[in-house]
């Protein structure tokens, strides 16, 4: 049996923090896991920036409420689920992702949680598990699933390397250059082709 594990932001939906940066007019929020491989460092930076600008979880959720999946993403997910099983492994937060999951017809999502004060101030976050994407793929393999993984950022590399098959999707040039052994595709048609080939090899 096969399973496809995909990253969420940058693969199926736009980068939430980039959309928030544009809505808030604060370019510093544009920094993502494409730019910063240390997730703890990145989140500490974001939480500090939210406090400095007196921005809270409802401010972020209002922006997310107006977002849609990337063009073609919903159709890709529907087609993929006819072929095999799909799980989204993301470092986003459950408080962010729910409206976007509805627009993708509710695929299974494993992600993290935001910690807030009563007034909505973001005070921290809880990881489901450190290196959770890699460990999830390893756990799926342990029950004899053959796993294909794809993502676009530094935090996707371990799960791609752990899987039996995988690729990058629209990854930035630095990641492509530093990890030339991982193929990179640019369209949902190409990604589906990689997955279909993997499934048919079994």
What is the set of active-site residues?
7, 9
Edge-to-edge strand ranges of the sheet holding 2-6: 122-126, 108-116, 85-93, 2-6, 146-151, 165-169, 184-185
* Chain centre to alpha carbon of residue 160: 13
Q: Say how far apart CA 163 and CA 5 lie, in whole Å.
A: 9
Q: What share of the chain is helix, strand, coil (3-state, %, to 5)?
A: 50, 20, 30
Calculate ∠ Cα 160-164-168, nearest 5°.
30
């Amino acid at each position: 049996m096969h399973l496809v594990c995909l990253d969420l932001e940058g693969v199926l939906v736009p980068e939430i923090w980039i959309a928030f940066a544009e809505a808030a007019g604060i370019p510093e929020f544009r920094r993502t896991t494409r730019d910063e491989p240390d997730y703890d460092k990145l989140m500490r930076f974001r939480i500090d920036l939210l406090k400095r600008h007196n921005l809270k979880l409802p401010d972020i959720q209002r922006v997310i409420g107006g977002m849609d999946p990337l063009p073609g993403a919903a159709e890709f997910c529907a087609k993929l689920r006819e072929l095999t099983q799909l799980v989204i492994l993301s470092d986003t937060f459950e408080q962010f992702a729910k409206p976007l999951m509805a627009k993708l017809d509710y695929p299974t999502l494993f992600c993290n949680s935001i910690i807030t004060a009563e007034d909505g101030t973001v005070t921290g976050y809880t990881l489901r598990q450190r290196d959770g994407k890699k460990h999830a793929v390893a756990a799926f393999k342990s029950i004899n699933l053959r796993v294909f993984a794809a993502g676009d950022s530094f935090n996707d590399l371990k799960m791609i390397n752990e899987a039996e098959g995988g690729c990058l999707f629209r990854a930035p040039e630095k990641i492509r250059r530093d990890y030339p052994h991982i193929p990179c595709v640019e369209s949902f048609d190409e990604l589906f082709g990689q997955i279909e080939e993997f499934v048919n090899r079994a």
